[in-house]
Amino acid sequence: MEYEGSATHAVTNQPPPLAPYDASADTALLEGLRREGAGWAEEGIRRLGLRAGSAEAQEWADLANRHEPELRTHDRYGNRVDEIDFHPSWHHLMRAAVAEGLAGTPWAEDRAGAHVARTAGGLVWGHTEAGHGCPTSMTYAAIPPLRRQPELSKIYEPLLTSREYEPGLKVPTEKRGLLAGMGMTEKQGGSDVRTNTTTATPTAESGVYTLRGHKWFTSAPMCDVFLVLAQAPGGLSCFLVPRVLPDGSRNTFRIQRLKDKLGNRSNASSEPEFDGTVAWLVGPEGQGIKTIIEMVNCTRLDCVMMSATLMRKTLVEAGHHVRHRSAFGARLLDQPLMRNVLADLALESEAATTLTLRLAGAADRAVRGDTGEAAFRRIATAVGKYWVTKRGPAFTAEALECLGGNGYVEESGMPRHYREAPLLSIWEGSGNVNALDVLRALRRESGAAQALFDELASARSADARLDAAVARLKGQLAETSEIGARRLVELMALTLQASLLVRHAPPAVADAFCASRLGGDWGHAFGTLPDAADLDAILARALPDGS
């Protein structure tokens, strides 16, 4: 019903709602999916894309972030309960994500491309919201370290790879599906986990210890099991900590409080304390970092994936807005300078998506025994994690600005995406730590540099600017010190992205990327592509409905 009489004005020049839309309508993503060996998953990804863009799922995302999780430390009688209450929307999102195989499922699928399909699923389902991607990512990533302790893996892996979401605290083996978290960071050190002070004391039973100490950040504390680092007699070691013990009693896992965070507000991040907490050793004593680093390798890929998702989601939102909004007598989309901004964002988004899927393909082939891909994955994941997550905050800010003042208002959803972006470059190794990890890989792992240059060589002679950049990279490599690590890793990331685009993207995309990111024909802000860039072709590919 329309208001009449008292209306002061008609509402015009505001865009219609974006939802429902198809989050999988992303040519670069679908091409990458096929190229990296998971074309068989395309139908499922398209179905998931429609579901992610549905009005229902978009509303879940909004509600799960507006109604933040709450910690209940005690019941009404004063007993400790340490439960987290979530809005029903959180559970809807979690149930869908787990059922769609976005948690541990690929490890149970003996099919080439299973890990690529999961990553692509994350790229489209991430159009809902990012917070619930934390427990699904940690559950996925917990499997490789757990496999270092076969008797534990035999019990827990089938439940961590299940497609069933069963919230609530119960004996883990009595549930249909489990979630895993991780506890590494303590007050005195996060990047440098060697400073962990939590102690692990062996009990009379082999492999069973008791923990005493604290963690400063442990996200998703409602998970069923956690991989935790603690100091055992033989040094820093990795443990599996269940919240409910096999006899049905509660393990000691006292949640002191939840963090009041910049973003990621649907997800609970906690400070737990352990005191006599039962823990089972995973991997050898003293090899905690070596064990848990296998988890970090997987979560780092997910950080790249989540940043690429945020880019694509905010690009789609920006494209929708400018298609329906006019200023100074013309649609925003038809204003030349706005086209430059959008096309520049589109290049960044495609480069991020293409690299994400290349990294997922390497991970997939590495777990199936391809040593060359394992060497490439080792260095390229750290490179990608550094660069793609570093671009996220600037990207989401620019996309937000495309909506003008509307973008600064919560109900547009853009502030939520903007607040999420910096997190991806903090956790799982902050920017400097990732850049230094690349140096470590170069110095200590003989195959790493070779694997990267082999990859770059497959695009040799395709673009003179790329060839020159690779030569520059080789020169820098010879003289890089810690102080220059960011510079080096940035160049590695740009050459890697350019080499992928030169081989797989249309010429307009590859040319504009090489001209701007490698050829120096670019400003510092987005929207500074050179005049020669074919903006129409770039936009027609990235936003087919918006060109």
Ligand X SMILES: Cc1cc2nc3c(=O)[nH]c(=O)nc-3n(C[C@H](O)[C@H](O)[C@H](O)COP(=O)(O)OP(=O)(O)OC[C@H]3O[C@@H](n4cnc5c(N)ncnc54)[C@H](O)[C@@H]3O)c2cc1C
Binding site for ligand X (CB under 6 A): 181-185, 189-192, 217-219, 261, 264, 269, 423, 426-427, 430-433, 436
At 50, list the tokens: 């429609």
124 with 49: CB under 8 angstroms? yes
Q: Is 213 left (phi over 0), alpha (psi -120 to 50) or beta?
A: left
Smallest gap from Cβ 464 to ligand X, in A, equals 35
Smallest gap from Cβ 481 to ligand X, in A, equals 12
Residue nearer to ligand X on the CB measure, 55 or 262? 262
Task: Write phi, then psi, for 331 (nearest 5 degrees).
Answer: -60, 145
> Three-class SS of residue 199?
strand
At 40, list the tokens: 């068989």
Smallest gap from Cβ 195 to ligand X, in A, equals 9
> Three-class SS of residue 251?
coil
CA 337 to chain centre: 31
Residue nearer to ligand X on the CB measure, 51 or 265? 265
Burial class (CB in 10 A: 0-12, 13-18, 19+), 391: buried
Smallest gap from Cβ 44 to ligand X, in A, equals 29
Smallest gap from Cβ 263 to ligand X, in A, equals 8
Residue nearer to ligand X on the CB measure, 217 or 526? 217
Strand partners, 44: none
Residue nearer to ligand X on the CB measure, 81 or 433? 433
Report the alpha-carbon distance of residue 18 to residue 354 in Å, rounded: 25
Report the alpha-carbon distance of residue 331 to residue 188 in Å, rounded: 53
Q: Is 369 left (phi over 0), alpha (psi -120 to 50) or beta?
A: left
Question: Minimal CB distance to ligand X: which residue?
Answer: 190
Half-sphere exposure of 371 (CA within 13 A, CB side): 4
Residue nearer to ligand X on the CB measure, 217 or 522? 217
Residue nearer to ligand X on the CB measure, 423 or 438? 423
Residue nearer to ligand X on the CB measure, 99 or 433? 433
Smallest gap from Cβ 91 to ligand X, in A, equals 20
Smallest gap from Cβ 258 to ligand X, in A, equals 10
Smallest gap from Cβ 260 to ligand X, in A, equals 11
Report the alpha-carbon distance of residue 390 to residue 417 in Å, rounded: 14
> Three-class SS of residue 279?
strand
Smallest gap from Cβ 112 to ligand X, in A, equals 31
Smallest gap from Cβ 188 to ligand X, in A, equals 8
H-helix or E-strand spanning residue 511: helix 507-513
Residue nearer to ligand X on the CB measure, 182 or 510? 182
Residue nearer to ligand X on the CB measure, 198 or 219? 219
84 with 69: CB under 8 angstroms? yes
Dihedral sign from CA coordinates of 276, 277, 280, 283: negative
Residue nearer to ligand X on the CB measure, 219 or 495? 219
DSSP structural state of residue 166: -
Report the alpha-carbon distance of residue 34 to residue 117 in Å, rounded: 10
Residue nearer to ligand X on the CB measure, 254 or 323? 254
Residue nearer to ligand X on the CB measure, 287 or 430? 430
H-helix or E-strand spanning residue 301: helix 288-324
Residue the block writes with tokens 């903007």: 418
In angstroms, the Cα distances linking 208 to 183, 247, 248, 294 are 18, 15, 17, 22
Smallest gap from Cβ 215 to ligand X, in A, equals 6
Smallest gap from Cβ 84 to ligand X, in A, equals 13
Strand pairing category for 269-282 and 254-258: antiparallel
Strand partners, 212: 199, 275
H-helix or E-strand spanning residue 242: strand 235-242
Which of 138, 135, 123 is closest to 86 using CA atoms? 135
